[in-house]
Every structure is written in structure tokens, then in C-alpha cells.
Amino acid sequence: MARMSNHEPALLDKLLAAYREEPVVGAASAVEPPVRRYLERASRGRA
């Protein structure tokens, strides 16, 4: 996700919010929601 957002924190936040809040975007993800939540916390240093 960091590469997709070009390492821009504001864009990364928007992308992660879309994965969390938009059912269509989340359904298209190859990563299951619990794994995605873990990765999101880990990317912010709270794993």
C-alpha cells in the first residue's frame, strides 16, 4: 500500500479508508479483512 500511495501518508490513509469502508473495494482485495487490519496497524507501528 505504501508503494501504491507513493509513500504519501495522506493518500495512504485515503486508500486504507476505502478498503475499510467501501464494500466493493474491500471485496476486490485478495487480503482478508483481519489480515488487512493487522497490516494497517503494523504500518503505523501498532502491531
What is the span of the domain harbouring residue 25? Answer: 9-43
Residue 2 covered by a domain: no
Looking at residue 47, its pLDDT comes to 52
Q: Work out how many domains the chain is built from and give that number.
A: 1
Looking at residue 26, its pLDDT comes to 75
Residue 3 covered by a domain: no
Distance in angstroms (rounded) separating the CA atoms of residues 47 and 44: 8
Looking at residue 46, its pLDDT comes to 61
Helix (H, G, I), strand (E, B) or coil at 26: helix
Residue 1 covered by a domain: no
Distance in angstroms (rounded) separating the CA atoms of residues 19 and 30: 11
Looking at residue 39, its pLDDT comes to 80
The answer to whether 43 and 1 have CB atoms below 8 angstroms apart is yes
Looking at residue 31, its pLDDT comes to 79
The answer to whether 25 and 19 have CB atoms below 8 angstroms apart is yes
pLDDT digits (tens, 9 = 90+) for 2-47: 787 888 888 888 888 888 888 888 788 787 888 888 887 887 776 5
